[in-house]
Structure 1
Amino acid sequence: MRGGIAWRALPRDFPPPTTVYDIFCRWTKAGVWQRVTDVLRDRIRVRAGRRPTPTAAIIDSQSMRGADTVPGASSGWNNGKKVGGRKRHIATDTMGLLLAVVVTAASTQDRDGAHPLLARLRERFSTITLTWADAGYTGRLVHWAHQILNLAVMIIKRADPGFVVLPRR
């Protein structure tokens, strides 16, 4: 409950924290966590009556405050949100299941962070042909994604001010 990964706070019936941490690092390097995530996502999609691999995605970003331990070189200030720290650029399928993540400084524009996100998405999921995004992604990104990645990016714009649930966002 303290937050973060406090390895020394593991329950007493676990192996020593250094052993657990070493295994965690080994599994991360070997891609075990990514494979577990992929298998679970595919199973959830199949149980919902869908194909295991998605054909469409939704992208968005969120700025979050950085911890004191975050190096200054990898953090920034998002003036629109008035937040200093990092920004996570996320791609999900239409069920909201995670497909790809890229973390940048909070000062990174959405459309600039979307380049590596869409490239990673295309690399991992060749079946995706359409991506929905908000107005923050308008501009050269749409043309770049179509020409370079053969990926359509459809911008869903707000019609009315205030909170309104929008389709595919």
Structure 2
Amino acid sequence: MTDTEWAEVRDLLPVPAWMGHRGGRPEGYCHREILDAIRYAVDNGGKWAALPVHYPPYKRVHAFFTRWRDHGLIAEFHDRLRDRVRVGEGRDPRPTAAVIDSQAVKAAATVHSPTRGFDGGKLINGRRRHLTVDTLGLVLIVAVTPANAGERVTAATMLPRLTERSHRIRRLWADSGYTGDLVSWAKRDLDVRVDIVRRTDDLSGFQVVPRRWVVERTFSWLMRSRRLVRDYERRPDSSEARILWSMSKRLARRRTRENTTGAITPRWAVAAA
């Protein structure tokens, strides 16, 4: 983490209990060192015990990761950073529209059988990542389920959480896997309009599907973190925390580029000039 990046995220970190005079004792390592170690583990995909020696002891890093996961601190940190990025992009921190989709990934042998399943469509034995993102592709809600979990069933549990956190959401784009009673239920109970964006059947090969490409790009961002190429976590909430850590790293880098270099001129614009 560069000095500029650390200055960007430092004031967004949750305040430890001992600093707020709520009990506890000071931590033995700087938060910057701990965050660097966790980001390294997510980005490079190694085990906790395989952290390089210049990081804090892996047991302390893992304990920090577990504490932030169990108390929702990583979600709090990620949401604060996402809101700052949206403001930097000239958007309101509270989005009004979102895109939802899921991705099935293979699971390692360390994943317990009750938390994994077989996706008959993709022929994948593992877990399914459900993401709801804003129109910039930034994660709003994440859920990890067995790969055989239905998209509509999971969406029915995610949408109330989404509207509770982002009460201005009024429109949602989804693929044909979310058709059915979910559309009418969301409109009636949550006042959210679900638009199904279908792929055109008369075209072959790759094509960019309107609106849906935003969440597909987010999945590709996550796959750049080696730890997320396959699911190794024993617990689904650990997988969700890894996703938020990966996105937090990308958000911090995005803010740093804006603060240090400003707008980047595309190559085509330089050639045209």
Shift of 1:46: 1.1
**Partner residue, 2:144:** 103
Matched, 1:81 2:116: no
Cα deviation code 1:68-98 (max 9, x no counterpart): 1111111111111111111111100000000
What number of residue pairs does the alignment pair up?
Answer: 169
Task: State the TM-score, normalizing by the size of structure 2.
Answer: 0.58
1:50 paired to 2:91: yes
User: What is the rounded CA distance, in whole Å, between the counterparts of 1:99 and 1:88 in structure 2?
Assistant: 13
Matched, 1:144 2:185: yes
Aligned 8 A contact 1:90 1:117 in 2: no
Larger relative contact order (Cα-Cα within 8 Å, sequence gap ≥ 6): 2
Is it true that 1:121 corresponds to 2:162 in the alignment? yes
1:102 touches 1:116 (CA, 8 Å); kept in 2?
Answer: no
Secondary structure of the residue aligned to 2:98 is: strand
Deviations 1:92-151 (A, max 9, x none): 000000000111111112112211121221121111110000011110110111122221
In structure 1, the gaps of 5 or more residues are none
Give the TM-score normalised by structure 1.
0.92
Does 1:7 find its partner at 2:48? yes
Of 54, 63, 75 in structure 2, the residue corresponding to residue 34 of structure 1 is: 75
Equivalent of residue 66 in structure 1, options 107, 127, 135: 107
Unaligned runs of 5+ in 2: 1-39, 213-273
Identity %: 46
Separation of aligned partners in 2, 1:28 and 1:106: 22
The one-letter amino acid of 1:136's match is G
- Cα offset, 1:21, TM superposition: 1.7
Three-state SS of the structure 2 residue aligned to 1:37 is helix
For 1:154, the equivalent position in structure 2 comes to: 195
- Give the structure with the larger strand fraction: 1
2:208 is matched with 165
Aligned residue identity for 1:119? P
* 1:16 aligned residue: 57
Deviation, structure 1 residue 23? 2.1
